[in-house]
Amino acid sequence: IFTFGVLTDIQYAPIPDGHSYAGNPRYYRHAKKAAEHAAIHFQEEQVQCVVNLGDIVDGKCAAVEKWGGVVSDSKRAEIAER
């Protein structure tokens, strides 16, 4: 038997909780803890493959510097082009 796990739209960002662009609540920092919990579960269940469907990092990470984070030069250039 082949087993696999699925994660969807983790949406991690090192910023305070807020809302998506559509207005849905987002628990940005908690997303990392939830992903860690899933990883432990996958290991305990000896899942052979894990697939992530969707974003790992929320688009609002563009504002990460505001909260004390660091944005790479390439990401800064990408944001400026928008």
**Selection from 54, 44, 45 nearest residue 2 by Cα:** 45
Does the pLDDT at position 12 exceed 90?
no
Give per-residue pLDDT as tens, 31-81.
889 989 999 999 999 999 999 887 666 666 666 556 555 555 565 555 555
Does the pLDDT at position 26 exceed 80?
yes
pLDDT average, residue stretch 14-24: 81
Q: What pLDDT, on a 0 to 100 scale, did the predictor assign at position 67?
A: 54
**What is the token pair recorded at 47?**
């899942």
24, 39, 33, 78: CA torsion to nearest 10: -60
Q: What pLDDT, on a 0 to 100 scale, did the predictor assign at position 54?
A: 76
- Supply the pTM of this predicted model: 0.61
